[in-house]
Amino acid sequence: MLKKNKNIVIKKPVVLLVLDGVGYSKNRVGNAVNAKSMPKYHLLMNKYLNTRILAHGKAVGLPSDQDMGNSEVGHNAMGAGRIFPQGAKLINEAIKSGTIWKGKIWQEIVKRMKKKATLHFIGLLSDGNIHSHIDHLFALIERAKKDGMQNVRIHILLDGRDVAETSALKYIDQLEQFLKKVNDNYFDAKIASGGGRMEITMDRYEANWKMVEKGWRIHKEGIGRYFENASEAVKAYRKEQKGIIDQYLPGFVIAKDSKPIGKINDGDAVILFNFRGDRAIEISRAFTESNFKYFKRGKFKDIYFAGMTEYDGDLKIPQNYLVSPPPIENTIGKYLADLQIKQFSIAETQKFGHITYFWNGNRSDKFDDKLEDYQEIPSDKQNFDKKPEMKSLEIANYLIKAIKSGKYDFLKANFANGDMIGHTGDFKATVKAMKYVDRQIARIANEVLDVNGVLIITADHGNAEDMFMRDKNDKLIKKAGKYLSKTSHSKNLVNFTIIGKKIENYWRINENKNNGLANVATTILNLLGYQKPDKYANSLIIRK
């Protein structure tokens, strides 16, 4: 049990707002998070305690400080109170040490492939390092050849979201050049199908099963528009749909003599080489669930499916995976449940898993049903730039109602707008999104102050503040007289603000250049009147 801090004036409730994808940047151009679009938020930051913290790279468990943060590792770090090896770093270590090849899952695949079946790889083809990395695919293919496999087919998902929005041909060329080097009279590896990540396969939180069904038909059954190669498909779609970006490219099938070259047949094995869980769960379920009900899959048997890692630890999705995720125990959610502190969590579908599952250390179940209330607001099933407000109003209304109820000592919410609209590359829509969020922040802040509580506002990573491409010298890049859109996350710091009546009389900011999202949990516990748990990162505040 945690020890209480003595002689602390405790203000309850403590409310946390995570502004997903809302980082900090000094730049004016391409910054949708400026004082004009978010005037109320900036007034609050200037009036109350505020600092900036790290939300990318090593500060959230990624391999290097050149790696962008993301929502999964960001919420893991905030909820865990410390840093664990994450995503690409976890896979890099497994490949370097060789443990991935020594594991029983890879060995089972090697055993099955001796029957001359085909090994299929499905995943995001880029070096964005958020969902996958092309180097991991290369390592898997090389090892497949070394271990005596003969037939490999690759089903590529095109990015344009975590990397430049029209960079697909670059990655396809890299893969094709790699395949030329490894292919020989014995080993045959080819691209078999593909499509944009927001069109096929990579849905999340059951928002759009049609995407997954499209991917199933294309990858598994070879049903789709035929092309001779992947580059031809991309070029054709770009010619037909002016201005289309990679993530929205339709699906395609590579065929020879009017027959798909890479259908997934009984006896084959499939590896989903994405390491991030949220957009990997549904396609994993399609391959593995016996009572699957979301679309008609047709008859199949004996397809051995494995994920790069375990995508959901509680639901055991998938059952087979190459690299075990880090065990994250003693999260702040667990401590608060043990302390009998009533909690409330809310987000719309697109980020609901982040404020619950990832926050709780990759745990689907609650720690205590009687102490934790979850509220999911269904996301719109349309392109988010068409409705940039998303569900910000509904989230704020529910959150304010929960605050007014007096039932909860800790409440947390996620506003998805900065991330989801930022990923579209539509700057004007993102500015509108931030204006909507700004209004809700003001409403929530007023309510928290009225009940003499404390409001914390931060973000899990940057995005909306940095929406135009820049060169190595930090100069804006123009194409045809327009700034080139940036759809990926940023490596910028994020703001951390604490709002409360006379809060500055009790606390001051604990400034440190290494402060990051892992420091948030101890800060919350301090505000609730408890000391830092063992192994947790230090608090972002110091008692005056």
Which class for 102: exposed (0-12), middle (13-18), buried (19 or more C-beta within 10 A)?
exposed
Domain boundary among 306, 323, 340: 323
Residues forming a β-bridge with 495:
52
3-class DSSP string for 168-212: HHHHHHHHHHHHHHHCCCCCEEEEEEEEECCCCCCCCCCCCHHHH
Let me know if residue 476 belongs to a domain.
yes
Residues forming a β-bridge with 508:
542
Do 339 and 392 share a domain, yes or no?
Answer: yes
Specify the 3-state DSSP secondary structure of 30: coil
Do 225 and 338 share a domain, yes or no?
Answer: no
User: How much is the pLDDT for 45?
Assistant: 96
- Pairing label, strands 410-415, 343-348: parallel
Decide if 71 is catalytic.
Answer: yes
Domain boundary among 291, 323, 355: 323
Do 363 and 221 share a domain, yes or no?
Answer: no
Residue with tokens 């049609």: 210
User: How much is the pLDDT for 329?
Assistant: 92
Do 54 and 102 share a domain, yes or no?
Answer: no
Do 410 and 318 share a domain, yes or no?
Answer: no
Q: Which helix (H) or strand (E) holds 542?
A: strand 541-543
Q: Which residues of the chain have pLDDT under 50?
A: none
CA dihedral angle for residue 491, residue 307, residue 420, residue 493, rounded to 10 degrees: -20
What is the C-alpha to C-alpha distance for residues 171 and 7, in angstroms, rounded to an integer?
59
User: How much is the pLDDT for 2?
Assistant: 81
Let me know if residue 542 belongs to a domain.
no
Do 70 and 159 share a domain, yes or no?
Answer: no
Let me know if residue 513 belongs to a domain.
no
Do 418 and 334 share a domain, yes or no?
Answer: yes
Count of structural domains within the chain: 2
Do 198 and 333 share a domain, yes or no?
Answer: no
Q: State whether the Cα torsion 350-352-357-360 is positive or negative.
A: positive
Do 212 and 303 share a domain, yes or no?
Answer: yes
Which class for 108: exposed (0-12), middle (13-18), buried (19 or more C-beta within 10 A)?
middle
**Whether 75 contacts 55, CB under 8 Å:** no
Do 386 and 450 share a domain, yes or no?
Answer: yes
Let me know if residue 544 belongs to a domain.
no
**Whether 413 contacts 395, CB under 8 Å:** yes
Do 95 and 214 share a domain, yes or no?
Answer: yes
Let me know if residue 178 belongs to a domain.
yes
Let me know if residue 48 belongs to a domain.
yes
Tell me: the pLDDT tens digits for 240-277?
Answer: 999 999 999 999 999 999 999 999 999 999 999 999 88
Domain boundary among 323, 358, 388: 323
**Whether 476 contacts 469, CB under 8 Å:** yes
What is the C-alpha to C-alpha distance for residues 240 and 137, in angstroms, rounded to an integer?
30
User: How much is the pLDDT for 313?
Assistant: 63
Residues forming a β-bridge with 272:
122, 307
pTM of the model: 0.75
Range of the domain at 394: 33-85+328-505
Let me know if residue 218 belongs to a domain.
yes
* CATH number of the domain within which 427 lies: 3.40.720.10
Query: How many of the other CB atoms lie within 10 Å of CB of 29?
Result: 12
Do 318 and 243 share a domain, yes or no?
Answer: yes
* CATH number of the domain within which 237 lies: 3.40.1450.10
* Catalytic residue of the set 25, 37, 64, 71: 71
What is the C-alpha to C-alpha distance for residues 249 and 237, in angstroms, rounded to an integer?
7
User: How much is the pLDDT for 303?
Assistant: 96
